[in-house]
């Protein structure tokens, strides 16, 4: 059985050339990499559902799901679900479809 066989001279030269090319490419990609944006933790506090600013922002959206609302307003999913339920009770959004885990809303007709 034994260990790994020693590469031939041409194989060793080719491997060395590939390593040099990889190092150059790695240096270039490190220089081009953009600075990372710091993520803020999602808010636990629900915004005021009677705020016109929030309602107008939601009117621009075609479909309202907890994920889209949470992403847009930097909220947790549970808070976004509560916000959508509250706006539905107020009549500002309309329930389109519901499934086992997901409710889909759309802005109410003005």
- In terms of DSSP H, where are the helices of 2-110? 9-32, 52-59, 66-73, 77-90
For the chain, list the domains and their CATH numbers: 52-107 (1.10.10.10)
Res. 64: pLDDT tops 70: yes
Which 3-state string (H, E, C) describes 78-99? HHHHHHHHHHHHHCCEEEEEEC
In this structure, what are the phi and psi dihedrals at residue 98, rounded to the nearest 5 degrees?
-135, 145
Average predicted confidence (pLDDT) for the chain: 85
Res. 47: pLDDT tops 90: no
**pLDDT tens-digit readout, 86-102:** 999 999 999 999 999 89
Separation of alpha carbons 67 and 72, rounded Å? 9
């Amino acid at each position: 059985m034994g260990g790994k066989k020693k590469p031939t001279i041409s194989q060793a030269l080719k491997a060395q050339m590939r390593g040099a090319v990889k190092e150059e490419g790695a240096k270039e990609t490190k220089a081009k990499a953009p600075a990372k944006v710091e993520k803020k933790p999602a808010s636990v506090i629900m915004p005021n559902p009677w705020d016109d600013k929030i309602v107008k922002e939601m009117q621009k959206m075609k479909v309202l799901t907890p994920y889209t609302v949470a992403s847009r307003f930097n909220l947790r999913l549970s808070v976004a679900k509560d916000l959508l339920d509250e706006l539905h009770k107020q009549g500002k959004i309309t329930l389109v479809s519901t499934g086992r885990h997901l409710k889909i809303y759309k802005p109410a007709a003005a």
